[in-house]
Amino acid sequence: MEQEKLIALCKEKELTIGSAESLTAGLFASTLASVPGASAVLKGGFITYFTEMKEKMLDISPILIEKYGVISKQCARAMALNAKRLMDVDYALSFTGNAGPSAMEGKKAGLVFCAIAGPDGDLYDFKLELFDLDRNAVRERAVAEMIHELLQIIQKKS
């Protein structure tokens, strides 16, 4: 499984990871923590399910949220950047979106924005459109995609 590869690669390169999770509600951190040895890599995470928690815990600007909404690339990028700064990790990852079942902020269930803040100011983001999945499948798929993306990024930097 890719989470084992990710943990092994990060241990080998002495890299640390932290997360800022909204719709995944800690599922990413839990998935990594299920791998033996994860404690050498996973520093922790923020679960910011409510908008107010994004503002209070991650210092996300209310102006950014008002302008773009919490289900946006801009919010995902800010979450990753601020989590990286607050946790002092090599890679901070963020998840924000709508797992469903109904629309939110006028955005369909299954729309997910993810971001990765890495060393040297690197910032990556991607969007998932998982419109045909139920809420837990959306969350699980978002975590799997993030693990895959992060693994690819770290391997390319090697």
Crossing angle between the packed helical segments 135-157 and 2-13, to the nearest 10 degrees: 40
The average pLDDT across 4-33 equals 98
Q: Residue 140 above 80 pLDDT?
A: yes
In the chain, the amino acid numbered 112 is V
115 forms beta bridges with 94, 125
**Domain spans, the chain:** 2-157
Mean pLDDT of 36-64: 98
Mean pLDDT of the 13-36 span: 98
CATH of domain 2-157: 3.90.950.20
pLDDT at 158: 74
φ and ψ of 66, to 5 deg: -65, -40
Range list of β-strands (E), 52-140: 91-97, 111-117, 123-129
pLDDT digits (tens, 9 = 90+) for 92-133: 999 999 999 999 999 999 999 999 999 999 999 999 999 999
The pLDDT value given to residue 6: 98
| pTM of the complete model | 0.97
